[in-house]
């Protein structure tokens, strides 16, 4: 049970690493929350979840159990995953001090007839989504599997989507209530904590898995 809770917590923090840094999806969420209220933000969140689940199902269909059992996958988790977490953690940590999250929402994102359709397009065409899964998502998913098998994978998935709902949902709520700008200090604190967590996780993965070789 503790291992599963650990996988949920790990998935939550890993999930934040992909959504806290501002990007096209983040800006589109803000835009829709301003224009359409909380309902618009919800549809963007739902679209993000659908794209993520689709990618996850594609990963599972590629015999992920066989991949996880390969000794080379340990090296992949430790080296690729560890280095990626370190780099991303340092970048998030450094950008926390000088990030300007929203310059001008008008005209920065494409317009669609429905926020769910727009959310699907913005997510599907965002290379950051696929890069995150390649260098962060899959290695961390492998670590969750190493923690407690299938239960760890489920826990990781729950944690990732809790982070999506918590972070994007909270931002959409604040913006839809008339706050065009997210409190800067809140962004800084969360970004710093996320960066520190990723750095520590990268060091841990490097130490745990690469020492085997």
Find the angle CA(136)-CA(139)-CA(145) to the nearest 5 degrees: 130
Rounded CA separation 36/143 (Å): 39
Mean pLDDT of 192-200: 76
pLDDT at 167: 92
pLDDT at 109 over 50: no
List Cα–Cα distances, 160 to 13, 75, 148, 165, in angstroms. 8, 23, 16, 9
More confident residue, 103 or 18: 18
pLDDT class for 34, splitting at 50, 70, 90?
A: confident
Q: Give pLDDT, residue 106.
A: 45
What pLDDT is attached to residue 46?
95
**pLDDT > 90? residue 185:** no
How large a percentage of the chain has pLDDT more than 70?
Answer: 73
Kindly indicate the confidence band of residue 32, based on its pLDDT and cuts at 50, 70 and 90.
confident
Signed CA dihedral, 37, 108, 54, 203: sign only: negative
Tens-place pLDDT, residues 123-168: 887 767 877 887 788 888 888 888 788 888 899 999 999 999 999 9
User: 99: closest CA among 24, 21, 166, 14?
Assistant: 21
Q: How far apart are CA 176 and CA 147, in angstroms?
A: 39
Cα separation, 23 vs 37, in Å, equals 20
Q: Is the pLDDT of residue 102 over 60?
A: no
Question: CA-to-CA distance for 121 and 145, rounded, in angstroms?
Answer: 31
Cα 197 from Cα 194, distance rounded (Å): 5
Number of other residues whose CB lies within 10 A of the CB of residue 79: 16
User: CB pairs under 8 A, 24+ apart, for 69-76?
Assistant: 71/212, 73/142, 74/209, 74/212, 74/213, 75/209, 75/210, 75/212, 75/213, 76/139, 76/142
Burial letters 51-69, b for 16+ CB under 10 A, else e? bbeebbeeeeeeebeeebe
State residue 90's pLDDT score.
80
**Segment 16-22 mean pLDDT:** 79
* 10-14, 67-71, 106-110, range with greatest mean pLDDT: 10-14
Closest by Cα among 58, 68, 198 to 141: 68
């Amino acid at each position: 049970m503790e291992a599963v809770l650990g996988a949920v917590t790990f998935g939550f923090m890993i999930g934040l690493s992909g959504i806290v840094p501002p990007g096209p999806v983040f800006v589109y969420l803000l835009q829709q929350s301003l224009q359409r209220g909380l309902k618009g933000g919800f549809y963007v969140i739902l679209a993000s979840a659908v794209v993520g689940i689709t990618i996850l199902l594609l990963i599972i269909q590629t015999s992920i159990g066989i991949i996880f059992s390969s000794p080379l996958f340990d090296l992949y988790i430790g080296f690729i995953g560890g280095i990626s977490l370190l780099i991303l953690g340092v970048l998030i940590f450094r950008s926390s001090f000088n990030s300007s999250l929203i310059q001008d929402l008008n005209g920065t994102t494409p317009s669609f007839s429905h926020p769910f359709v727009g959310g699907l397009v913005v997510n599907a065409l965002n290379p950051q989504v696929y890069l995150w899964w390649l260098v962060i998502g899959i290695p961390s998913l492998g670590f969750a599997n190493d923690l407690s098998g299938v239960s760890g994978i489920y826990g990781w998935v729950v944690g990732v989507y809790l982070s999506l709902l918590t972070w994007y949902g909270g931002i959409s709520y604040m913006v839809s209530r008339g706050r065009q700008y997210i409190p800067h200090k809140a962004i800084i604190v969360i970004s710093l904590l996320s960066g520190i967590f990723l750095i520590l996780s990268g060091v841990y993965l490097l130490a745990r898995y690469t020492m085997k070789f």
